[in-house]
C-alpha cells in the first residue's frame, strides 16, 4: 500500500512538473538526424531520443533540412500574443 502511495505521489509530481514546463516552454538540443526520405517527409530526430515532425514545404522544414548532421537547439515556448 505504501509503495502505491509513493508511486502515485511521484507520478503526480512528474505530471505537475511537465505541465508547468509546458506553460513556460522548453528547449531541446543535440545532433539533428534524418535519412533523406525522413527529411523529405518532415521527420527529424534529435540525438535519437526525440522525434519532431514538421510540415513539409514550410520555412522551418527547409531550415531543418540544411541542419541535418549538425548540433542544434530548438526552443518551444508559448506565444505571448495568444494569451
Q: What angle do CA 81, 78, 30 make, to 5 degrees?
A: 140
Mean pLDDT to the nearest integer, 2-10: 78
* CA quadruple 25, 31, 38, 78: dihedral, nearest 10: 10
Could you report the per-residue pLDDT of 10-63, keeping only the tens digit for each?
A: 787 777 766 665 567 888 899 999 999 999 999 999 987 889 999 999 999 999
Please state, in angstroms and rounded to a whole number, the distance separating the CA atoms of residues 43 and 38. 5
Instruction: Quote the pLDDT of residue 8.
Output: 78
- The answer to pTM > 0.75 is no
Q: What is the pLDDT of residue 39?
A: 94
- What pLDDT shows up at residue 46? 92
Amino acid at each position: 500500500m505504501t509503495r502505491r502511495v509513493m508511486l502515485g505521489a511521484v507520478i503526480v509530481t512528474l505530471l505537475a512538473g511537465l505541465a508547468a514546463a509546458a506553460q513556460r516552454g522548453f528547449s531541446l538540443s543535440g545532433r539533428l538526424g534524418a535519412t533523406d526520405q525522413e527529411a523529405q517527409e518532415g521527420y527529424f530526430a534529435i540525438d535519437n531520443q526525440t522525434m519532431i515532425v514538421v510540415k513539409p514545404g514550410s520555412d522551418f522544414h527547409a531550415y531543418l533540412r540544411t541542419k541535418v548532421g549538425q548540433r542544434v537547439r530548438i526552443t518551444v515556448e508559448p506565444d505571448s500574443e495568444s494569451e
